[in-house]
Amino acid sequence: MARSKIALIGSGQIGGTLAHLAGLKELGDVVLFDIAEGTPQGKALDLYQSSPIDGFDSRLSGANDYSAIAGADVVIVTAGVPRKPGMSRDDLLGINLKVMSSVGQGIKENCPDAFVICITNPLDAMVWALQKFSGLPENKVVGMAGVLDSARFRTFLAMEFDVSVEDVTAFVLGGHGDTMVPLTRYSTVAGVPLPDLVKLGWTTQEKLDSIVQRTRDGGAEIVGLLKTGSAFYAPAAAAIQMAESYLKDKKRVLPCAAHLSGQFGVDDLYVGVPVVIGAGGVERIVEIELQGEEKAQFDKSVDAVKGLLDACKSIDTSLA
Ligand code: APR
């Protein structure tokens, strides 16, 4: 069986890390693409030269021409600009929307059968625009946010409880931003829901609330520390988990920004919900019933995404 081909649009901090992880996990051959000349070629060659040491077989190449992504099975998009301290993800909208237009065109012309994972921020708006610009089926274009947000939540919870990160599960819904909705009743330590752990005295409601807030601010915390860019190791790991589920038809149930057409009472909008990712792309959306406050928070998150889509439509009237 031929090796899978993974195209990475954007060869910056996340793009380089994606290439490294895709190689280490032998997910397939990797093409790094970027508008910056030399960057994708240099990173590809450097990573290729690590493969004899780490013992993985993956042909890595770099390109500045979209023809290089022809026939890709998976495309992961990080092209655009990241945040600097003081910026919100939404501040990136104008610049990154134009980038999505050219990326969408490149995908449409060269690999219309690919499974596309968008990472570029503001995520929920960029993945929506990318699907429109590329014209790919809605279940083949998905946004990476929930896996990262829930990984941040899991990390903070494991720190608080002093248990293995592997035994902590977390459930995060909504947009990738200040309005994300971490669902504590569906988040557990080895199956025990967080509210029960509060009752058991493992933590207090106040501590739990501050962990939820730290999760919401998780991206900004890293931007504030790095000062020159935003997080890249965990975002790359999250997207690779999604790509692997598609390529290996694992049917993982992962929180992703998925296209909703009526589910959760939302139409033609991408927002974070649990989905099954397998060989068919987004094969199923897990439509859980939200309770009072959860529903209010989810609706608020959806409204925030709608505001971003309106901004996209006014910048690029072809989207209206
Ligand atoms: N086409 C292809 N690549 C582009 C384009 C374009 N039109 N415009 C910019 N790029 C490239 C840049 O040259 C750069 O190499 O995208 C890359 C972005 O890399 P970084 O600046 O290192 O940003 P990174 O940290 O990887 O984040 C990328 O993901 O999480 C989001 O908010 C983040 O939107 C940002 C994106």
Evaluate if residue 37 carries a pLDDT over 90: yes
Name the CATH superfamily for 5-144.
NAD(P)-binding Rossmann-like Domain (3.40.50.720)
pLDDT value of position 30: 98
Sequence-ordered alpha helix ranges (H) in the chain: 13-24, 39-48, 51-54, 93-110, 123-134, 146-161, 194-199, 205-216, 218-226, 233-247, 292-315
Domain boundaries, the chain: 5-144, 146-310
Q: Whose CA is nearest to atom 29 of ligand 1?
A: 120
pLDDT digits (tens, 9 = 90+) for 281-297: 999 999 999 999 999 99
111: helix, coil or strand?
coil
pLDDT value of position 88: 82
CA distance 272 to 250: 20
Evaluate if residue 220 carries a pLDDT over 90: yes
Q: Which residue among 9, 21, 35 has the greatest number of ligand 1 atoms within 8 angstroms of its CB, and so is best to mutate?
A: 35
Please state the atom number of ligand 1 nearest to the C-alpha of residue 79.
16
Using an 8 Å Cβ cutoff, are 62 and 44 in contact? yes
Using an 8 Å Cβ cutoff, are 118 and 126 in contact? yes
CA distance 47 to 23: 8
Mean pLDDT, residues 256-285: 97
Q: Which residues of 248-261 are buried (b: 16+ CB within 10 A; e: fewer)?
A: eeeebebbbbbbbe
The CATH fold of domain 146-310: L-2-Hydroxyisocaproate Dehydrogenase; Chain A, domain 2 (3.90.110)
Evaluate if residue 244 carries a pLDDT over 80: yes
Burial category of 55 from C-beta neighbours within 10 Å (exposed 0-12, middle 13-18, buried 19 and up): exposed
The ipTM (two decimal places) reads 0.99
pLDDT digits (tens, 9 = 90+) for 173-182: 998 878 889 9
pLDDT band (50, 70, 90) for residue 235: very high
CA distance 99 to 196: 46
pLDDT value of position 86: 84
Does ligand 1 lie within 6 Å of residue 106's CB atom? no
Sequence-ordered alpha helix ranges (H) in 81-167: 93-110, 123-134, 146-161
Q: Whose CA is nearest to atom 28 of ligand 1?
A: 78
With both helix axes pointing from N to C terminus, report the angle between 233-247 and 13-24 in degrees, rounded to the nearest 10.
50
Evaluate if residue 316 carries a pLDDT over 80: yes
Do the domains at 5-144 and 146-310 have one common CATH topology? Answer: no
pLDDT value of position 1: 85
Mean pLDDT, residues 32-52: 98
